[in-house]
Amino acid sequence: MAQPRILILGAPGAGKGTQSAKIVEHFDVEHITTGDALRSNKQMDISHLDLEYDTPAEYMDQGELVPDEVVNAIVDEALSSADGFILDGYPRNLEQVEALEDMTDLDVVLTLDVSEEELVHRLTGRRMDPETGDIYHVEYNPPEDPEVEERLEEREDDTEETVRERLRVYQKNTAPVIEYYEDEGSLERVDGEQAPDEVWDDVKATIEENA
């Protein structure tokens, strides 16, 4: 099998990052994630674009989308050096879908279905290890090593208020993206509310069947 080109969709907290890490390891593809790319460049000066704010941070900390011109350029550059990839966090609106279609073809498009209350619970309990980037959850997936537990950090946009706003932005902008791929006949749905390993079994089978 050539290296697959995979798109993973789903609401904030659906488990895209968690499943993408497994996909990278199993299918040996590159992880292209706009969220991580933007978090590493949160203070980047974008004032020359004459937008509402001068850095990505101001959009992200309020749970708003970073403008398309910034995000499209990040993805375009990342895709130009990747054969197989798992694309996570993009496209998030129909304009980004159009931009992506000019950049690459996709072999598999899948979405993780999770209810809203579960999403809020997952995000407000999420913690990250700043040294390794590994993702944990205070209840579902706490670290075994007390040293790791000690240094865990909460993401700045995982407060309940910002999470609710991110879910509102998701319903308005990104739900139509899922409808678009569904209407096109290319969308594969995975039940994301199962335990992480069960979700992974379904994700892996979906990729193997469709790539």
31 counts as binding ligand AP5 under rule CB under 6 A = no
Distance CA 7, CA 46 (A): 27
Among the listed residues 4, 7, 9, 17, the single contact to ligand AP5 using CB under 6 A: 17
Rg (CA), the chain: 17
Is 18 annotated among the ligand-binding residues? yes
CB of 81: closest distance to ligand AP5 in angstroms? Answer: 19
By DSSP bridging, strand 187-191 and strand 108-113 are parallel
Catalytic annotation, pick one of 5, 122, 127, 166? 166
* End-to-end Cα spacing for the chain: 8
Q: Which of residues 112-151 bind ligand AP5 (CB under 6 A)?
A: 122-123, 126, 135-137, 140-141
The per-residue b/e assignment along 13-39, b for 16 or more CB within 10 angstroms, e otherwise, is bbbbbbbbbbbbeebebbbbbbbebbb
Which residues sit in the known binding site for AMP? 34, 39, 64-66, 89-92, 96, 155, 166
Q: Which residues bind ligand AP5 (CB under 6 A)?
A: 10, 12-18, 34-35, 38, 59-60, 63-66, 71, 89-90, 92, 96, 122-123, 126, 135-137, 140-141, 157, 166, 195-196, 199
